[in-house]
Amino acid sequence: MREKVTQIVKQTSLSIVQNEIQAVRRKNIRKTGCRVIADGKIGVAGGLGEVAAEDLFARAEKSLAYGIDYEVELSRNLQKQNCLDSFVISDAELCKRIENILGEVRRRHPEFAVSNKVNLSHIDFTLENELNLKLQHRDCYLSLSFLLKKQGSTGIMDTFFGLVDRRLEESRVIEAVSEVINAYNNLLPMPEQKLPVIISQGSLTRLFQRDLNGKMVGNKASLFQSQMGQKVFSDRFSLEIVRDPVETYGPDFDMEGTIPAAELNWLIKDGVILRPYTDKKTAHRYGFANTGCADGNYDSVPSLGGANVEIPHAGKTLAGLLNGQPGLMIQIASGGDFTPDGNFASPVQVAYLTDGQKLLGRVPEFTIKGSIFEFFGDDFIGVSSDKIYVNGNDRMLVARMAVEKL
Amino acid sequence: MYQFPAGFYADVRIEKVFRSLVRIETGRLEEVKEKDDTGAFIRLFDGQRWFYASTTDLGSIDVELAGLAKLGQADSRINEHPTVRKMQVNTGDHCRFVQTCVSKVQLSEKIALTESFADLVKNDGQISHWSASYSDAHIIKQFYSSLGANLKFDTQTAGLRLGFRFGSGANVFSETWCKAMSEFKPLAGLHHEAREMIEKAREFFTSAEKIQGGNYTVVLSPMAAGIFAHESFGHKSEADFMIGDEGMKKEWQLGKRVGSELLSIVDDGNLPGSGFTPFDDEGNRAEKTMLIGKGILRGRLHSAATAAELDEAATGNARSINFEYEPIVRMTATYIEPGNCSKEELIGSIDHGILIESVKHGSGMSTFTLAPSMAYLIENGRVTRPVKFSVITGNVMKTLDQIDAVSDRLEILSFVGGGCGKMEQYPLPVSFGGPYVRVREINVQ
């Protein structure tokens, strides 16, 4: 049986130095991967550019001899196409509009320099096989990554604005960058009272990437080994795999063409750990449900990667979760880590005081500490229903945690 | 030769890449891959702006060059532009791995080697999860420029990575042993080293205890010192962060004291290993660049553009992760230079401190952190018992000044399966290292 992966990336990339476009890069790269599956084994081969699929299939067939096990049912009888590529903008127009943004930011904030990248990416990804499977994902989106640096500061950057979107709202970007810079310039003393901490979900859910990995659980190596099926976290805490291509900027199928039933997306529900995340091989090997988390390069044997997880919100905005008090919104927290038993500590390089609607000012550097069982247990406040544009247009996690001045 | 458009500086970098990969996980062969790819990155400069294209169609390079020229404005005096004047015109064939090319080694040998390392961890009752992988890359680069550069060189790494996790539930400990060389053959002699690391990790798993946070005198192993040098100071030495910022130029003026006089940090792409970069991706030759010499800021890492902007010499540090990306200023092999005292002397004078042997990751802006994997308590001048904590952290510049002893043996570490990330470009192979380095008053959390 044969499967083919085709990935075409067309990208225009603008390099920004000191509020000016310093370089324009264009690329158009096609990658093709071919798999041959026979007698419970898999062989793979891949190539760049215009390559003959038959040659790749022949190479993949030859590599069956290595004896890599693949005793799974292939996905079949499904045709699906996600088309999210309606954002159209010429390179010249993109340059002009980005220059407008950079110019206005410079006019408003001459003491700050903007650098780094703007990428406009067209993605066309197809997975197909001889069992009537053809899944295609087409997308076009813009990634803005602005490093913001104050004149005279000795660091590489001082603060940041980043965004992925399928449109370019110039005035909204300018206002958001301005809000970040104004808040950065307004250094406040660290409030004396204990305030909720607002942080990106991924900073704390990354422990689940490691310890709810199906191989970890299957090999009895997970932190949560003895807690599977038990209530471990707050009633209000759940964790689900998200697949909506509109939200994730990725396909809703995995590298094995799996789109699992909706109920299998829940890894934790109402505080109870339900299941690990898996691909077909891991599910088959350890007797778990397949949650459709196969990953890998276009020319790799599909294997268990990470799960794109989110904590669902309960309908409260960030301001609602803060309930009238301010919170500490973490923007840059680099270098933190979990210990094997689930304790976490991280320095926070840049954080802002916020009322949930706007940034009020910057607070001095500090450290945060706590345990995964506390963050998502008694100390869990919630996830905002609104997306916070100044912080990457993400829904933010709010929790109580120990804050110590550096 | 390519049709370089008149009135522009232009260059073409062609990369021919061979790679192979073998991965075994908890006793099962999960992946075997061997591939050859070729692609080109094309740059054109009109004195104001750069224009880039990447392609896998080598027959279209002249068309791409002509297309890029339409985006710019020709300048008959382009070769006098300061940036262009920093471009060297190197020529010749400098390939050194053709005879020992990893593509000549049969995949069956690579699988057998990986299996022999997997044998060290399989059927170990205390190890609950493990993986063993082999990967290699032989990259031949050809570089042509409108100035006449006509250069061919290659780089090669072959390496092993052994990841293993002891225990279950809340009582788990993960560690990785990883080593890369420039050739395949020497890898066969590393079982002893890997076995030693596994046993050290086992002891750590069974007996490490939590330690009280606070300020300690800390000894960094060559790995920890190398990561510290790379993350905390190396990135600040990349001159692209200074472009157009007069305040930054003043702050980072060469000749300024930035650390203890025992501290010297070097970057050198000529060193064998995963940071080996004899020429950069602008065709400039790698230099040994002294970043800090005896505590004084002595140099920084440059591309042609940053060297021109700061009126300094190019250092051969313009690198890209592959032919899809433009070169930007990156490190190669970055290390702290050795000092005069022995490791025993360095530890012997500590009453109460910590030795950080291996590190999971590190970061460094104004504040640095290192997340240790294996660390040990030092009591009365002796390393006594394994201890665990989350991170050490501190102000970078203050910490550079608090280094009070550096041991006399340099160790450079090379790796496969990861690398350095900057902006959108990850992973770039680098190496790093140092001697044992003692630092006073480090905050342990």
Distance from CA of A8 to the nearest CA of B (A): 12
- What is the pTM for the complete model shown? 0.94
Cβ within 8 Å, pair B391-A215 = no
Cβ within 8 Å, pair A219-B129 = yes
Q: pLDDT, tens digit, for every residue of B75-120?
A: 999 999 999 999 999 999 999 999 999 999 999 999 999 999 999 9
Q: Is B92 near chain A, with CB under 8 Å?
A: no
pLDDT of B383 over the 80 cut: yes
When the pLDDT of each residue in chain B is averaged and rounded to a whole number, the result is 95
pLDDT of B367 over the 90 cut: no
Q: pLDDT, tens digit, for every residue of B53-62?
A: 999 999 999 9
Question: So what's the pLDDT on residue B327?
Answer: 98
pLDDT of B200 over the 80 cut: yes
Q: Which residues of A touch B243 (CB under 8 A)?
A: 17-18
Cα B304 to chain centroid, rounded:
21
Q: Which residues of A touch B322 (CB under 8 A)?
A: none
Give the 3-state secondary structure of residue A399: strand
* Backbone angle region of A39, left / alpha / beta, with phi > 0 → left and psi within -120 to 50 → alpha: left
Closest CA to A311 of A232, A224, A393, A208: A208
* 8 A C-beta contact, residue B444 and residue B392: yes
Q: Which residues of B touch A223 (CB under 8 A)?
A: 169-170, 172
User: Using 50, 70 and 90 to split pLDDT, how confident is the model at B252?
Assistant: confident
Q: pLDDT, tens digit, for every residue of B424-439?
A: 999 999 999 999 999 9
Nearest CA in chain B to A66: B32
Q: Is B172 near chain A, with CB under 8 Å?
A: yes
Instruction: Name the least confident of A135-149, B12-26, B163-177.
Output: B163-177
pLDDT of A85 over the 90 cut: yes
Q: pLDDT, tens digit, for every residue of A159-206?
A: 999 999 999 999 999 999 999 999 999 999 999 889 999 999 999 999
Q: Which residues of A touch B371 (CB under 8 A)?
A: 335-337
Closest CA to A213 of A200, A202, A224: A224
* 8 A C-beta contact, residue A310 and residue A243: no
Question: So what's the pLDDT on residue B249?
Answer: 84
* 8 A C-beta contact, residue B94 and residue B152: yes
Tokens linked to A109: 């904030």
Calpha distance B56→B188 (Å, rounded): 35
Q: Which residues of A touch B250 (CB under 8 A)?
A: 152
pLDDT of B385 over the 80 cut: yes
pLDDT of B365 over the 80 cut: no
pLDDT of A327 over the 90 cut: yes
Which DSSP letter does residue A200 get?
E
DSSP H or E stretch at residue A386: strand A380-388
DSSP-based helix, strand, coil % in chain A, nearest 5: 25, 40, 35
User: Using 50, 70 and 90 to split pLDDT, how confident is the model at B389?
Assistant: confident
Cβ within 8 Å, pair A67-B29 = yes
pLDDT of A406 over the 80 cut: no
Q: pLDDT, tens digit, for every residue of A194-253?
A: 999 999 999 999 999 999 999 999 999 899 999 999 999 999 999 999 999 999 999 999
Question: So what's the pLDDT on residue B19?
Answer: 97
Q: Which residue has the higher pLDDT, A155 or B396?
A: B396
Nearest CB neighbour to B170, from listed A155, A157, A341: A341
Nearest CB neighbour to B367, from listed A299, A342, A349: A349
Cβ within 8 Å, pair B171-A337 = no
Q: Which residues of A touch B171 (CB under 8 A)?
A: 340-341
Q: Which residue has the higher pLDDT, B384 or A151?
A: B384
Q: Which residues of A touch B241 (CB under 8 A)?
A: 149, 156-157
Cβ neighbours of B316 (radius 10 Å):
29
Closest CA to A212 of A272, A286, A295, A278: A278
Question: So what's the pLDDT on residue A154?
Answer: 77
Nearest CB neighbour to A220, from listed B28, B55, B128: B128
Q: What percent of chain A has pLDDT over 90?
A: 92
Q: Is B167 near chain A, with CB under 8 Å?
A: yes
Cβ within 8 Å, pair B251-A152 = yes
Cβ within 8 Å, pair A26-B243 = no
Tokens linked to A80: 């699906």
Q: Which residues of B touch A333 (CB under 8 A)?
A: none
Q: What percent of chain A has pLDDT over 70?
A: 100
Cβ neighbours of A327 (radius 10 Å):
25
Average pLDDT over residues B265-282: 98
Nearest CB neighbour to B390, from listed A22, A220, A337: A337
Tokens linked to B272: 């064998």
Amino acid of residue B441? E
Question: So what's the pLDDT on residue B337?
Answer: 98
Q: Which residues of B touch A219 (CB under 8 A)?
A: 26, 128-129
pLDDT of B255 over the 90 cut: yes
Cβ within 8 Å, pair B31-A303 = yes
pLDDT of B394 over the 90 cut: no
Q: pLDDT, tens digit, for every residue of B351-364?
A: 999 999 999 988 87
Cβ within 8 Å, pair A18-B244 = yes
Cβ within 8 Å, pair B393-A335 = yes
Nearest CB neighbour to A66, from listed B29, B39, B168: B29
Instruction: Name the least confident of A280-294, B236-250, B296-310.
Output: B236-250
User: Using 50, 70 and 90 to split pLDDT, how confident is the model at B343?
Assistant: very high
Q: pLDDT, tens digit, for every residue of A43-79?
A: 999 999 999 999 999 999 999 999 999 999 999 999 9
Q: pLDDT, tens digit, for every residue of A266-321?
A: 999 999 999 999 999 999 999 999 999 999 999 999 999 999 999 999 999 999 99
User: Using 50, 70 and 90 to split pLDDT, how confident is the model at B163?
Assistant: very high
Q: Is B163 near chain A, with CB under 8 Å?
A: no
Cβ neighbours of B214 (radius 10 Å):
10
pLDDT of B299 over the 80 cut: yes
B338 prior amide bond cis, ω within 30: no
Q: Which residues of B touch A338 (CB under 8 A)?
A: 390
Give the 3-state secondary structure of residue A161: strand
Q: Which residues of B touch A30 (CB under 8 A)?
A: 56
Q: Which residues of A touch B168 (CB under 8 A)?
A: 220-222, 225
Nearest CB neighbour to B56, from listed A29, A299, A365: A29
Q: Is B171 near chain A, with CB under 8 Å?
A: yes
Give the 3-state secondary structure of residue A177: helix
Nearest CB neighbour to B52, from listed A24, A340, A347: A24
Cβ within 8 Å, pair B172-A221 = yes
* 8 A C-beta contact, residue B304 and residue B284: yes
365-424 of B, contacting A, C-beta below 8 A? 365-371, 388-391, 393, 397, 423-424
223-252 of B, contacting A, C-beta below 8 A? 235-236, 240-241, 243-248, 250-252
Amino acid of residue A49? G
User: Using 50, 70 and 90 to split pLDDT, how confident is the model at B46?
Assistant: very high
**Mutation target vs A (from B13, B17, B22, B32; most A CBs, 10 A cutoff):** B32
For every residue of B398-414, DSSP letters joined together read HHHHTEEEEBS--EEE-
Closest CA to A209 of A304, A323, A114: A304
Question: So what's the pLDDT on residue A53?
Answer: 96
* 8 A C-beta contact, residue A359 and residue A326: no
Question: So what's the pLDDT on residue A141?
Answer: 98
Triad A72, A74, A77: Cα angle to 5°: 150
pLDDT of A340 over the 90 cut: no
Calpha distance B186→B190 (Å, rounded): 8
ipTM of the shown complex:
0.92
Tell me how many residue pairs between chain A and chain B have CB atoms under 8 A apart. 199
Calpha distance A249→A247 (Å, rounded): 6
Q: Which residues of A touch B248 (CB under 8 A)?
A: 152-154
State residue A308 phi and psi, 5-degree precision.
-85, 95
Q: pLDDT, tens digit, for every residue of A96-134?
A: 999 999 999 999 999 999 999 999 999 999 999 999 999
Q: Is B50 near chain A, with CB under 8 Å?
A: yes
Q: Which residues of A touch B240 (CB under 8 A)?
A: 17
Cβ within 8 Å, pair A24-B236 = no
Question: So what's the pLDDT on residue A125?
Answer: 98
Q: Is B111 near chain A, with CB under 8 Å?
A: yes
